[in-house]
Amino acid sequence: MRIPLKRRSFLKGAGVAIALPMLEAMVPNSQASIVGQRPVKRFVCLSNNYGMYRNGFFPALDQVGVDYDMPETLQALERHRNQLTIFSNLDHGNTGGHAGVPVLLSGVRPSLAHGYPEGNLSLDQRLAELNGTATRFPSMTIGCNEQNLISFTRAGVQVPTIDMRTAYRQMFLDEPTARKATALERLKRKNSVLDVVMGQAKSLQQQLGKQDQRKLDEFFGSVRSLERKIVQQEPWIDRPKPKTDILEPQLKGGTPERLKATIEMIALALQTDSTRVVTCVSGFANGDFGLSGGYHNFSHHGERLEPVAALKKIESYQIEMMAYLIERLKQQADVINGGTMLDHTTILFGCGMATGTHQTKNLPLLLAGGGYHHGEHKVFSNLVGRTPAANLLLSILQNHGVEADRFGTSSGTLTGLGWS
């Protein structure tokens, strides 16, 4: 049985130490046997909170299949068209404009979550549950000049947003020994506090009516979710973190510089197997791209030339950064599965609000990588029944090995979307 190299391995000599990249010899035999049964899958969601200018995003509806003209906003993806799929006429059946934003990865409005078996658990967090302790971070929710509003735990709690520098520090900077001990003690203390709370709560439950008991059950779910996170965190405290020659990113410059650095952090997180699930929401700051104004105001364009031109600049760059991530993952060998990182990484670009004019129909959705049968513009009929966007979410879950026949508001998997 081969003894794997440590992830933190160096070549040393004459006072010089060079950190090695992730190699096949760093993958334990036990993990390799698991990999042989089910490939290691990764997921990245890229989003914004204002939708897309639809005339620049969607191909013509009569251009179905492989013979479509790449829309203006998506031009950066032309060289990757065989590794991506564009969808038309998928949505979650929501109304309410901005209230649709947090529904993107679940299909379920938070206010209606109690009516669904998994609440408004988002796709990324469901995949984080699947990965468990396989990586240091079950998921990362990153924001670039914007809050991530689309990631929710099983208990309905919105996952906090971190920036690229925080992500870098969590991935690569080791904590001092004393701080590790404090962290471990804090985790143990949280566990003991939870035991006390659960004991008191169960005693209280016997005295409550049905409605209060339901609320208490939701509370139990929150506690169990927190317990799982604590169990996941503890084994990683004393494990050394991977090393990188890339310097810590600085929170300076405008959105173009920050978003590119954020995409590089995402690629690095996947390549070092620090996490296998990343959700990134990007925004806009006044002055970026030489524009004066705000993203929200631009999105209420009324087909006026100036705000439409502004949206195309902002959104074309977001798509350019998706293309940049695709390129980086295509060039990186997947030492766990074989092939490239892109072969086993699903990249979803999408928004919970279709456009800034508060429309939630026909969500802008793109899928790349992940071993799907790509290369098409898929148009779904909106005349006889609606095809739920949650069907795409369920298909992604099944692609990752989740045995489920329903997710959120899905009615089944997405017709015509296969994978190898």
Distance CA 280, CA 164 (A): 10
In 4-76, beta strands by DSSP E: 10-13, 16-19, 42-47
Greater confidence (247 vs 381) lies with 381
Greater confidence (42 vs 2) lies with 42
Q: What is the pLDDT of residue 173?
A: 73
Give me 311's structure tokens: 């949206």
Q: What is the pLDDT of residue 249?
A: 75
* pLDDT(184) > 80: no
Q: What is the pLDDT of residue 215?
A: 64
Name the pLDDT band for 32 (thresholds 50, 70, 90).
very low
Q: For residues 387, 389, 391 and 392, what is the CA-based torsion angle, rounded to 10 degrees?
A: 130
pTM above 0.85, yes or no: no
Q: DSSP letter at 102?
A: G
Distance CA 115, CA 129 (A): 21
Burial zone of 252 (CB within 10 Å; 0-12 exposed, 13-18 middle, 19+ buried): exposed
Q: What is the pLDDT of residue 31?
A: 47
Greater confidence (96 vs 123) lies with 123
- Which helix or strand (DSSP H or E) is residue 28 part of? none
pLDDT digits (tens, 9 = 90+) for 353-400: 999 888 999 999 999 999 999 999 999 987 667 899 999 999 999 999
